[in-house]
Structures are given as structure tokens and as C-alpha cells.
């Protein structure tokens, strides 16, 4: 309130700085630990590399897989993807890609299959520190046809065989020395030791200044042959505190706040109410699926009637409307409505507290004198609800859930933990009753890691796996196994529908909503198209333009 | 004096060794590790990848074994690599240390100068309007949350008046001293106002006590000017307790100011230490924390030695 009043006074007595149109300053809340595309996983890194490094393939704003660095997506119909029989009855696939003829690193060196070979060697080496090596493990070998064309021999035939966005090219001509000792590569890569070396970037922009923890400056890649970017300079500035980030926007220090790494929805809505007239504000619901995991190892939660009662006792529409201005669509299952596999033909749960109470009665939980239900043994129907401490939106939702469930006789004790504890200890060891958090996925992301019975963390498997609810259903396992290898889109859609129906019927987790990103943009900026998936908007920087 | 100093230096070394183990153990006892967090943000990262990376970063080893390895390396002068920044520890530490000193030193000096002036003026006229105003300044400075003060300064001077940049260490692409100075004004002002408030209270209390002492009355009776009485006789006595407070604050010069750095997007030591501890970056966290502890203890030793100069009654044998 006070800061807003001060700002109002100052707005009257002092003019705001006029924005320059040939430069763009973007505020984000995280600074990348490294710019090496294959080491570490950070949204801030993806955002910066979206401007400066082209992946081979990417899901665009329409959630279609497209080529950026390659000329054509391989498919069985165009002959660039050829299924092959492997020893042991397995099916593999050979994929042929051609690098765009005009692709060049910013030092003028062409992007070639040498870079592909080098990247593959780095990715395959267990010492190199590559964070997601699954694709490299699947690639059994590479045939280099010429300087631009290569064939990958992949040992598993999956429906998304053409998607190779994890193969982010490294420039062999300058990175090879750093890989001389693979165990030292993650420390010696030029992306860490010399991040402004132009030879590291092949996108429309290159990093020209890197001030750790503060900002990254990007300038046009002089050898970029695609449509040129509109801006002479792009600054990515990190301000972790969102109140300070807003103040930076108002001061003109940053021109826009990225939706991928900016204001949480509640703060974005509040900002829109105060300053919405001065900015363009875009809301984009995406693949971040907020839900409540139920530990099916707890006897009360193992009972489907109790799980159904819990979801019927929740007014999720009201939560979305009241807390998020209706900007976060209520989820029916784990599949986003924008996804190819989405179906609306699933059991839906409206707010029906009377039916919820009847279900709990039928499950043997009668109301006690204090309003909390008890079973025949006198045990209270009481659960601990956890989420990531410090996340204001989630903490607010928790209070509403606690209040709504209390009305149907369910006692909720809120116990929040820092993210590293929740994700590092509590969920893998399944030491929780209910945990509210988000699953982040990609388009048509098969839910093996979260719903397949082989992914239940336990002592026997060293507590690896993300199926923290302990959900085990042979039918879901079958659907997941079938989904991965079904090449025909229509048949896959039917499998997706079955999986969603099963999930919504059995409720191992309670669906809440799909989280929305808030993009705060200056009115003079156009062409920014949020994707809602993991591809950052910056990949299409050349579509952005500034009005005079 | 030399023997006393030598004994204190040995004590400092012993404390640093003990501290290194405690810090290492405390970070190690924190549940979860960075690879778990990495995995939670990338659904495609497999369990095999997580296990491989944990082995690569040594996170699968028992804590004591890891500490022994670190201690062996550190004694040989190698502080290792920062896992978070993938550069040698000094490569991550030194730029931030430089930034922190640029931020903390001016605010330390300004805060102390302001405190000396205000505290002395208030102590000379207890109960006066000036004393009340200084007290109000002190209470306001101590009570105001730093983040709030920082936000107000940004809103007024950056968003409202447009006089100063709101955040960062420099304008991207511009590398001159004037630009760096402009970026320092608001964070230095924030830290100065907050620190000056608490220093002023100490100076005021110490000066009041000093001005009430017999030797001050004697000096006045001998006809010494008021300026000489205050600046030469009283201030010297008052500086003994104030020196203790300043010495304890000295560690802050290298440990940074987390809240101020976060609010102003300023890459200093406070944020570095926080990120290193939260990200299980043992090498970096240990180096930074031990550096801060060493500077604090060295400043304390310096303060103890300064007592002998400030107060002739103090001597060390």
C-alpha cells in the first residue's frame, strides 16, 4: 500500500524514463549457473539459450514438433525415419537429419556434422556431467553422411522418435580441447570459462557480456542467416525478489518481465490491477500441473471412497476464481487441454459436499463431537498437507483446502517444507499424507515416471522414481507401455483417453489446475507468443518487433 | 603483546578448523541434494542419470570421507571447484568479494561517520529536540525492514524520479566508473541508513557515559575548549566500546548483505553464500564462510589490540 502511494506521488513529480526501442531489457528471477546447454537443468539457461542457440527440434506455440536447426523432420512417410529390427526382438529406428545450409556459429564457422559427432561423444561419456543423457543412451551410433547430413541409430522405437531437442549441439571447433579429460569437461567448457566467445552460439544473438548474478547482454550474431532480430541489444537482468522486479519494471530498468521466470500468478494479477493500463499482460496456462499427491500407503487414503470424498469436498472452481481470477483452468486429469492426447470424456468432480459426506459415512468415518470424523477404532480422519514452504500461492490454497475439508469432517494439519527437503527426502521416502506440488511435463509426455508401478520409490530401488503416491495398477502400466510405442496418432489418442479416465477414476492424486504464466510486456512490443510448454518464447525472438 | 597476539592467532586457526567441520557437517545434514532438485524440474531426467551425477559430484560418498578429502585438498592450497558455477572457487568468490567490498566499505564508513556525528551531538544535549530527533532516526532505522526501505528507495529514486538505476551492478555494455557508482548509490544508501541507526545508539550511549566521567570535568575545569573536550578526551574514551561493535561488524564486509543484494539484484557475497549453502556447493560455501569468520576474528583481534592504544589502562602480557 505504502510503496504504491509513494510511487503515485513520484509518478506525478517525476517523469518516467523513455524506453529505447532498439534495445530490450528483460527481467527474470533466476540467473543461469552455466550456459552449457547439456549440463544442469535451469529455466533461466533455457531462456537465454533460446536467443543464442538453436535446438534441432522444438515444440512450438501450437505444440507441434518443428525443425529449427534441421531442414526436415524425419518421418516414416518421408523415408527419413526407418524402423529397424534389433536383436532380441526389439524395434529401433534410424533417423536422418540434415543441418540447415546457412547455420553458422557466431565466429563464422559453419555448423557441421563434426559438431554432432562431438556432442554425441560428450553426451555418451558418463564422466562429462551431461544432466539428461537418456537420448544419448538410446542412440546406439551415428553415421555421418556428409558435412550436413547424419543418421542416428536409435535403439527404441517410440512415437516421438523425431524429437531430439536434447541433442543441443556443442561447437567442436572450440570445445574439443575442454573435453580432452572428460571428467574435467563440466569445469573446463568454454560456456563457463569464456561465455562471451562468439563461437559458442549459433542463434540470432550471441552473448557479448556475462556478469555473474547480475545480467547477460546479447548482441546480434553477425553470421545469422535467418530473419534478423529487431533489437540491437538484449539484456537479461536477474532480480530475484519479485517486488523489486516490479519496481524495476516501473522504473524502466527492465522493459518486460518474462512469463517463464517472472511473477507468480497472484502477484501478476495484483500488478495488473494496479498498472495493467500501462502494459500488455498475457496469461498463458501451460504444462505445469498443480495437484495433490495422496500417499496410497496410508490406510485411509488407500480407500477410493475417501479419495472421492476429498475431491468432491473441494470447490476448485471457486479457488481458481477467487484466488487466480479464473486464469488457472481447473484440471480434470494430468493432461493439459492443449495436448494432443487430451480428452474431456473423463469423470468430473464438481463441488458436492453432501455427496462427499455420504461417501465418508459409507467408508465408516462418522462425525465426532468436534466435527472431525472418526472410524470404528476411534481414529480421527486427519492428514498432514505439505507443500513447498515460502510459495505464497500454495500456502494460500492450503488454507482454503483446510477450511473446505473441515466442513466435511476432515482435519488437515499444514506442514510445509523447503523444496529441497520435500523433493529430496519427503516425497522419495513417501513420508507424507498429502503433498501439493506441480508436475512439469512436455507435450505428449508419457507419465511413466509418475504413474508406472516400476517408478514407486522404495528402499529396494534406492528411493528412486517419482511415483510418490505408490499408485500401482497393471492396466495403467499397460497403457503407459503401449503409449510409448504406438506410432499411430489416433490409436495413441485412444490410449491417452483410457489413461486419463483411469487416473480420474482412481484418483491417486487430486487434480487442481494448470498453472498460468504471466507475461508483462511493454505496449510497444509485439510478436511475443507464449508457448505454454517448455519451449521458451525467446526461441522465436526474430518474430518480436517494436512499434515506433 | 607479541605472545598474546601469537596465542590469539593459534586460537583463530583452531576455531577455523573446527568451524570448517561444523559447516561441512551442517550442509551435509540438510536433506536432499541439488541433483534431486534438478530431477524435480526435469521430468525426462532418469534415475540412472541422477545416480551418475551424484557419483560424479561425489554426493554418494559418506560425509566424513568427503570432508577428509576436502580438508586434504584445502591444506594443499586447493579449494576445489564450485559445483554451482563450474569454475574454481576463487573464480566464483573473488568477483563477488570485490562487489561486496565496493558495497559494504562505503556504507560502513558512511554509517560510522554519520553515527559519530549524530551520536556525539545527541549525547552532548540529552533530552533536547536534537536528541529526540536522533532517537527517532535510530528507532526508525532499526525498526524498518531492510527490504521495505530498499523498495521505497527504488520506487522513489528509480521508478518515480528516474534519477538512479533500480538494480544491478552496471548498465549492460557500459563499463565506466560513473555508471558503477550510480548503481551503488541506492544499495549503499539502504545499508548506510540501517547500519547508522544502530551504530548511533552505541556512540550516543558511550559518549554520554564518557562525558560524565571525572577526567572530562577536570579538562573543562582546566579551561579546555568544548571541541577539545569532546573530540580529544570524550571521544577517545567512547571509542573503546564502539570499537568492539565495529569489529564485530567487520565480518559483514566480506559476508555481504543478503537482503540488500537480493532487492537490488546485486551480485555480492551474501547471495553467493546463501546460494552455495542451499545448493550444497560445499567448496564454495566453506571458502566463503571461513573467509567471513576469519575476517571477523581478525577484526576482533585488531580491536583488542586497539584497546591498548585507546585506553592507556589496558595492557597485554
DSSP string of B74-108, one letter each residue: HHTT---EETTTTEEHHHHHHHHHHHHHHHHHHHH
Check if the beta carbon of residue A69 is closer than 8 Å to that of residue A100.
yes
Residue A200 has pLDDT above 50, yes or no: yes
Residue B189 has a pLDDT of: 94
Q: Which residues of B touch A134 (CB under 8 A)?
A: 44-46, 49
- What confidence category does residue A278 fall into, taking pLDDT thresholds of 50, 70 and 90? very high
Percent of chain A predicted with pLDDT > 70: 96
Residue A407 has pLDDT above 50, yes or no: yes
CA distance A385 to chain B (A): 19
Domain borders along chain A are 54-193, 284-516
Residue B127 has a pLDDT of: 85
Average pLDDT over residues A518-534: 93
Residue A187 has a pLDDT of: 83
Q: Please give the grid coordinates belonging to residue A201.
A: 552460439
Helices (H) and strands (E) in chain A, counts: 18, 20
Other CB atoms within a 10 A radius of the CB of residue A474 amount to 8
Helices A353-362, A304-312: crossing angle, 10 deg rounding: 160
The residue ranking higher by pLDDT, B264 or B251, is B264
Q: Which residues of A touch B31 (CB under 8 A)?
A: 420-421, 424-426
Q: Which residues of B touch A435 (CB under 8 A)?
A: none
Q: Which residues of B touch A205 (CB under 8 A)?
A: none
Residue A2 has pLDDT above 80, yes or no: no
Contact (CB<8Å) A439/B43: yes
Distances (CA, A) of B260 to A268, B104, B275: 23, 11, 15
Contact (CB<8Å) B45/A40: no
CA distance B97 to chain A (A): 12
Q: Which residues of A touch B37 (CB under 8 A)?
A: 419-420, 423-424
Residue A12 has a pLDDT of: 41
- What confidence category does residue B254 fall into, taking pLDDT thresholds of 50, 70 and 90? confident
State whether the Cα torsion A289-A293-A296-A300 is positive or negative: negative
Decide if the complex's ipTM is over 0.85. no
Residue B298 has pLDDT above 50, yes or no: yes
The residue ranking higher by pLDDT, A18 or A154, is A154
Residue B124 has a pLDDT of: 86
Q: How far apart are CA B112 and CA B247, in angstroms?
A: 12
Distances (CA, A) of A327 to A286, A318, A528, B3, B86: 11, 12, 19, 71, 39
Contact (CB<8Å) A449/B172: no
The residue ranking higher by pLDDT, A433 or B33, is A433
Residue B41 has a pLDDT of: 61
- For B202, the enclosing helix (H) or strand (E) is helix B177-211
Residue A9 has pLDDT above 50, yes or no: no
Answer whether B189 touches A (CB < 8 Å): no
pLDDT digit string (tens) for A452-495? 999 898 887 777 778 999 999 999 999 999 999 999 999 999 99
Residue A191 has pLDDT above 90, yes or no: yes
Residue A255 has pLDDT above 90, yes or no: yes
B194-253 residues touching A, CB cutoff 8 A: none
Q: How far apart are CA A254 and CA A236, in angstroms?
A: 9
CA distance B140 to chain A (A): 16
Contact (CB<8Å) B45/A41: yes
pLDDT digit string (tens) for B87-121? 888 888 899 999 998 999 999 999 989 998 999 88
Q: Which residues of A touch B58 (CB under 8 A)?
A: none
Check if the beta carbon of residue B261 is closer than 8 Å to that of residue B268.
yes
Tell me which of A364-373, B76-85, B260-269 is least confident. B76-85
Q: Which residues of B touch A421 (CB under 8 A)?
A: 30-32
Dihedral pair phi/psi, residue B44, rounded to 5°: -90, -5
What three-state secondary structure class fits A331? coil
For chain A, give the mean pLDDT.
91
pLDDT digit string (tens) for A410-459? 999 999 988 878 887 888 889 999 999 988 778 888 998 889 999 898 88
| Residues with Cβ within 8 Å of residue B316, at least 6 apart in sequence | B1, B4, B304, B305, B308
pLDDT digit string (tens) for B164-223? 998 888 888 887 889 999 999 999 999 999 889 988 998 898 888 888 888 888 888 887
CA distance B274 to chain A (A): 13
- Return the number of CB contacts < 8 Å for A and B: 209
- Nearest of A101, A105, A98 to residue A52 by alpha carbon: A105
Q: Please give the grid coordinates belonging to residue A92.
A: 529401433
Check if the beta carbon of residue A196 is closer than 8 Å to that of residue A209.
yes
Answer whether B87 touches A (CB < 8 Å): yes
Dihedral pair phi/psi, residue B28, rounded to 5°: -65, -30
Q: Which residues of A touch B42 (CB under 8 A)?
A: 41, 131-132, 440
Q: Which residue of A has its CA nearest to B50?
A: A131
Q: How far apart are CA A452 and CA A466, in angstroms?
A: 9
pLDDT digit string (tens) for A31-83? 888 899 998 778 899 999 999 999 999 999 998 999 999 999 999 999 999 99
B124-153 residues touching A, CB cutoff 8 A: 147, 150-152
Nearest to A131 among B38, B150, B267 (CB): B38
Domain borders along chain B are 2-89, 98-310
Check if the beta carbon of residue A256 is closer than 8 Å to that of residue A280.
no
Residue B135 has pLDDT above 70, yes or no: yes
CA distance A438 to chain B (A): 9
Where are the strands (E) in chain B, listed by range? Answer: 81-82, 87-88
- What confidence category does residue A1 fall into, taking pLDDT thresholds of 50, 70 and 90? very low
Residue B312 has pLDDT above 90, yes or no: no
Average pLDDT over residues A268-284: 93
- For A208, the enclosing helix (H) or strand (E) is strand A205-211
- What confidence category does residue B40 fall into, taking pLDDT thresholds of 50, 70 and 90? low
Q: Which residue of B has its CA nearest to A449?
A: B43
Residue A479 has a pLDDT of: 96
User: Which CATH class for the A284-516 domain?
Assistant: alpha beta
CA distance B134 to chain A (A): 24
Average pLDDT over residues A109-116: 97
CATH number for the region A54-193 comes to: 3.90.76.10
Residue A11 has pLDDT above 50, yes or no: no
- For A117, the enclosing helix (H) or strand (E) is helix A113-124
The residue ranking higher by pLDDT, B303 or B122, is B122
pLDDT digit string (tens) for A499-512? 999 999 999 999 99
Per the DSSP assignment, residues forming a β-bridge with A509 are A293
Q: What is the DSSP letter of A110?
A: B
The residue ranking higher by pLDDT, A205 or B17, is A205
Domain B98-310, classified CATH 3.40.50.2020, yes or no: no
Q: How far apart are CA A424 and CA B34, in angstroms?
A: 8
Q: Which residues of A touch B53 (CB under 8 A)?
A: 129, 131
Q: What is the DSSP string of B130-191?
A: HHHHHHHHHHHHHHS-HHHHHHHHIIIIIIIS--S--SSSS-TT---HHHHHHHHHHHHHHH
CA distance A354 to chain B (A): 37
- What confidence category does residue B42 fall into, taking pLDDT thresholds of 50, 70 and 90? low
pTM for this predicted structure: 0.83
Top-confidence range, A9-18, A426-435, B232-241, B301-310: A426-435
Q: How far apart are CA A433 and CA A521, in angstroms?
A: 41
Nearest to A3 among B155, B158, B165 (CB): B155
Answer whether B174 touches A (CB < 8 Å): no
Per the DSSP assignment, residues forming a β-bridge with A511 are A291
Q: Please give the grid coordinates belonging to residue A114.
A: 563434426
Amino acid at each position: 500500500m505504502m510503496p504504491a502511494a509513494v510511487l503515485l506521488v513520484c509518478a506525478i513529480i517525476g517523469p518516467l524514463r523513455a524506453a529505447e526501442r532498439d534495445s530490450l531489457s528483460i527481467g527474470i528471477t533466476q540467473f543461469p549457473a552455466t550456459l552449457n546447454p547439456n549440463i544442469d537443468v535451469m529455466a533461466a539457461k533455457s531462456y537465454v539459450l533460446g536467443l543464442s542457440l538453436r535446438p534441432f527440434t522444438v515444440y512450438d506455440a501450437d505444440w507441434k514438433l518443428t525443425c529449427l536447426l534441421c531442414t526436415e523432420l524425419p518421418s516414416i512417410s518421408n523415408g527419413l525415419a526407418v524402423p529397424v529390427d534389433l536383436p532380441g526382438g526389439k524395434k529401433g529406428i534410424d533417423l536422418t537429419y540434415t543441418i540447415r545450409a546457412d547455420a553458422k556459429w557466431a565466429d563464422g564457422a559453419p555448423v557441421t556434422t563434426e559438431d554432432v559427432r562431438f556432442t554425441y561423444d560428450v553426451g555418451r561419456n558418463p564422466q562429462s556431467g551431461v544432466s539428461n543423457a537418456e537420448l544419448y543412451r538410446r542412440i546406439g551410433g551415428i553415421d555421418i553422411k556428409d558435412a550436413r547430413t547424419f543418421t542416428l541409430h536409435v535403439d527404441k522405437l517410440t512415437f516421438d522418435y523425431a524429437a531430439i531437442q536434447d541433442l543441443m549441439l556443442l561447437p567442436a571447433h572450440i570445445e574439443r580441447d575442454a573435453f580432452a579429460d572428460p571428467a574435467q569437461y563440466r569445469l573446463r567448457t568454454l560456456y563457463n570459462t569464456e561465455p562471451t566467445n562468439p563461437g559458442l552460439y549459433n542463434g540470432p544473438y550471441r552473448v557479448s557480456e556475462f556478469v555473474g548474478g547480475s545480467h547477460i547482454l546479447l548482441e546480434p550474431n553477425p553470421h545469422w542467416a535467418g530473419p534478423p532480430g529487431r533489437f540491437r541489444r538484449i539484456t537479461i537482468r536477474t532480480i530475484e525478489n519479485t517486488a523489486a522486479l516490479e519496481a524495476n519494471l516501473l522504473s524502466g530498468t527492465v522493459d518486460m518481465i518474462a512469463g517463464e521466470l517472472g511473477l507468480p500468478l497472484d502477484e501478476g494479477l495484483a500488478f495488473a490491477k494496479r498498472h495493467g493500463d500501462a502494459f500488455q499482460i498475457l496469461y498463458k496456462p501451460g504444462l505445469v500441473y498443480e495437484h495433490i499427491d495422496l500417499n496410497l500407503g496410508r490406510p485411509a487414503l488407500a480407500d477410493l471412497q475417501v479419495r472421492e470424498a476429498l475431491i468432491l469436498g473441494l470447490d476448485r472452481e471457486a479457488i481458481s476464481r477467487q484466488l487466480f481470477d479464473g486464469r488457472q483452468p481447473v484440471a480434470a486429469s494430468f493432461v493439459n487441454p492443449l495436448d494432443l492426447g487430451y480428452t474431456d470424456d473423463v469423470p468430473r468432480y464438481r463441488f458436492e459436499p453432501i455427496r462427499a459426506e455420504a461417501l465418508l459415512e459409507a467408508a465408516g468415518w462418522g462425525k465426532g463431537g468436534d466435527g472431525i470424523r472418526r472410524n470404528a477404532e476411534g481414529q480421527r480422519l486427519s492428514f498432514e498437507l505439505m507443500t513447498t514452504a515460502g510459495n505464497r500461492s500454495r500456502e494460500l490454497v492450503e488454507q482454503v483446502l483446510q477450511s473446505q475439508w473441515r466442513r466435511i469432517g476432515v482435519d488437515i494439519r499444514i506442514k510445509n517444507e523447503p523444496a529441497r527437503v520435500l523433493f529430496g527426502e519427503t516425497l522419495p521416502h513417501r513420508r507424507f499424507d498429502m503433498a501439493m506440488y506441480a508436475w512439469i511435463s512436455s507435450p505428449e509426455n508419457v507419465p511413466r515416471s509418475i504413474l508406472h508401478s516400476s517408478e514407486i520409490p522404495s528402499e529396494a530401488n534406492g528411493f528412486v522414481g517419482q511415483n510418490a503416491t505408490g499408485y500401482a495398477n497393471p492396466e495403467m502400466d499397460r497403457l503407459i507401455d503401449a503409449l510409448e510405442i504406438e506410432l499411430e496418432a489416433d490409436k495413441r489418442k485412444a490410449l491417452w483417453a483410457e489413461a486419463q479416465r483411469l487416473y480420474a477414476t482412481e484418483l491417486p492424486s487430486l487434480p487442481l489446475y494448470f498453472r498460468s504464466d504471466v507475461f508483462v510486456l511493454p505496449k510497444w512490443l509485439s510478436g511475443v507468443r507464449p508457448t505454454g510448454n517448455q519451449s521458451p518464447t525467446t526461441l522465436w525472438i526474430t518474430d518480436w518487433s517494436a512499434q515506433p | 603483546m607479541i605472545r598474546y597476539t601469537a596465542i590469539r592467532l593459534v586460537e583463530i586457526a583452531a576455531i577455523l578448523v573446527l568451524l570448517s567441520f561444523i559447516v561441512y557437517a551442517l550442509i551435509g545434514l540438510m536433506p536432499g541434494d541439488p541433483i534431486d532438485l534438478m530431477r524435480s524440474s526435469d521430468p525426462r531426467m532418469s534415475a540412472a542419470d541422477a545416480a551418475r551425477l551424484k557419483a560424479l559430484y561425489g554426493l554418494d560418498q559418506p560425509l566424513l570421507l568427503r570432508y577428509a578429502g576436502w580438508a586434504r585438498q584445502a591444506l594443499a592450497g586447493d579449494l576445489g571447484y564450485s559445483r554451482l558455477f563450474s569454475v574454481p572457487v576463487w573464480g566464483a568468490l573473488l568477483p563477488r568479494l570485490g562487489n561486496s567490498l565496493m558495497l559494504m566499505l562505503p556504507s560502513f564508513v558512511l554509517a560510522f561517520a554519520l553515527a559519530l556525528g549524530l551520536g556525539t551531538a545527541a549525547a552532548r544535549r540529552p533530552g533536547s529536540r536534537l536528541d529526540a530527533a536522533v532517537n527517532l532516526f535510530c528507532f526508525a532505522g532499526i525498526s524498518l525492514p531492510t527490504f521495505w526501505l530498499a523498495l521505497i528507495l527504488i520506487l522513489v529514486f528509480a521508478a518515480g524520479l528516474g534519477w538512479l538505476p533500480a538494480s544491478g551492478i552496471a548498465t549492460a555494455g557500459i563499463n565506466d566508473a560513473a555508471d558503477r557508482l550510480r548503481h551503488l548509490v541506492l544499495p549503499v544508501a539502504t545499508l548506510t541508513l540501517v547500519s547508522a541507526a544502530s551504530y548511533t545508539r552505541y556512540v550516543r550511549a558511550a559518549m554520554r557515559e564518557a562525558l560524565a566521567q571525572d577526567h572530562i570535568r577536570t579538562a573543562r575545569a582546566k579551561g579546555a575548549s568544548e571541541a577539545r573536550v569532546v573530540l580529544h578526551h570524550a571521544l577517545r574514551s567512547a571509542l573503546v566500546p564502539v570499537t568492539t561493535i565495529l569489529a564485530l561488524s567487520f565480518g559483514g564486509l566480506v559476508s555481504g548483505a543478503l537482503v540488500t543484494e537480493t532487492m537490488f539484484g546485486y551480485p555480492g557475497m551474501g547471495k553467493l553464500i546463501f546460494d552455495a549453502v542451499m545448493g550444497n556447493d560445499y567448496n564454495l560455501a566453506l571458502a566463503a564462510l571461513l573467509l567471513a569468520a576469519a575476517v571477523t576474528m581478525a577484526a576482533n583481534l585488531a580491536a583488542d589490540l586497539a584497546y591498548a592504544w585507546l585506553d592507556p589502562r589496558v595492557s597485554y602480557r
